Amino acid sequence: MNKNKDVAGEEQSGALMADVARLAGVAISTVSRALANPGRVNEKTRAKINAAARQLGYTPNAMARGLRVGKSNIIMIILPGSLYYGVSQIIPQVLQSINKSLIQGGYNLMIANLDRDELSERHILDLAFGGSVRGVIILSSKLPEVDGRSLANSGLPIVSMLLDMSDAGLLSVVTNDREAVRDVTAELIRLGHRRFFYIAGPEGNYHDVERYGGVIEALEAAGLSEERVRRSGGHLDYQHGFDIGVQAADDFATLRERPTAVIATSDDMAISFVSRIQRAGLSIPGDLSVVSFDGSPVCEFSSPPLSTIEQPVEEMGRAAVDLLLDALGQTQNPTARTVIPSRFILRESIAAPKN
């Protein structure tokens, strides 16, 4: 049945199941069984079939199979359109980790970008409703929704990673943003710090809300007023982390009573902030302690090495896949929210305040 010509120069990819069947001298359905349910077929015929398949270099057609069984084996990961540097650094790890886990389950990973435009939303919805995709991992807070169709009621299992969207009914894998920042802030307070400077991500963003919330909680727990912390930033997108840090350094310079400890929402903000602040003549941690969030490897090699809260991205990736695969298997909903604890990495950017 292979319609490919033997003519030289002709495409020659694509032995069919029928070709294997003929070569092995059995029926097509037997081949199908031998490949899928090796148990339900005679040992000898199976051997013949395997031999024939190998000889022909047979590879099953995924689309035909998918059409027939009504399922694809593709998982879609939705990345936010604006990747900020901090996350940008970890995205490859996330993808690697997720992809590796998926492959072992027999799945493939497709990428989708969720920009703010309708085109990308429509595109994602086409994928979801067009049967191309079996499940979704989403790293964005917005669920695509265009004229009636919404990802939420696509019938696909969806796992949110990094952002807690369990309120919206999505399985979520997150780290303990709030708690981690709270603990770090508490530690700074313990060291004697009383005036704080917070470098913010975009106002209202989940990470910003959680992490800033952690700062406030720590202040409250220590009986300190919220006034103790100055915010900078909040208008720029995470994508511009370095710019935010630069801007924050300018803001910092204008303050009369200078804070002694800085908490940044992401590593890149801290990195550019530190760079500018040092250039302005301040020393870290002598004049100023700095800590940030993400755990970028580069922090170790800053001067001074930067303390940071490391996101357990690989574990989160694995957890997200596990959750998704579970959801694909059963109809029951497992735990809606999985928290993977972060790890605080203490480096030289933190010290007790001078005065």
Vertex 215: Cα angle to 206 and 283 (nearest 5)? 115
Residue 137 found at the interface with a second copy (CB under 8 A): no
Strands annotated E in the chain: 74-80, 108-114, 135-138, 145-146, 149-150, 158-161, 171-175, 196-200, 229-233, 261-264, 289-294, 307-310, 337-340, 343-345
| CB-CB neighbours of 57 under 10 Å | 10
Q: From CA 163, how far away is CA 159, in angstroms rounded? A: 10
**Phi/psi of residue 162, each to 5°?**
80, -40
Among 28, 35, 45, 83, binds a second copy (CB under 8 A): 83
Name the one residue in this structure whose structure tokens are 């989708």: 112
Among 18, 27, 47, 63, binds a second copy (CB under 8 A): 63
Q: From CA 200, how far away is CA 121, in angstroms rounded? A: 28
Q: From CA 120, how far away is CA 105, in angstroms rounded? A: 28
Among 302, 308, 338, 349, binds a second copy (CB under 8 A): 302
> Which of a second copy, DNA, none does residue 147 bind (CB under 5 to 8 Å by kind)?
a second copy
Both structure tokens of 200: 């913010």
> Which of DNA, a second copy, none does residue 35 bind (CB under 5 to 8 Å by kind)?
DNA
Q: From CA 308, how far away is CA 296, in angstroms rounded? A: 8
Binding mask 28-67 for DNA (x = CB under 7 A): xxx-xx-xx---xxx-xxx-------------xx--xx-x
Q: From CA 288, how far away is CA 294, in angstroms rounded? A: 20
Task: Report the nearest approach of DNA to the CB of residue 43 (Å).
Answer: 8
> Which of DNA, a second copy, none does residue 91 bind (CB under 5 to 8 Å by kind)?
a second copy
Among 154, 205, 232, 311, binds a second copy (CB under 8 A): 154
Among 2, 61, 333, 335, binds a second copy (CB under 8 A): 61
> Which of a second copy, DNA, none does residue 242 bind (CB under 5 to 8 Å by kind)?
a second copy
> Which is closer to DNA, CB of 64 or CB of 253?
64
Among 35, 110, 186, 236, binds a second copy (CB under 8 A): 110
Both structure tokens of 236: 């720029």
Binding site for a second copy (CB under 8 A): 11-14, 54, 57, 59-64, 66-67, 72, 74, 79, 81, 83, 85, 88-89, 91-93, 95-96, 99-100, 103, 108-113, 119-120, 123, 125-127, 129-132, 147-149, 153-155, 242, 245, 268, 271-272, 274-275, 278, 297-298, 300-303, 305
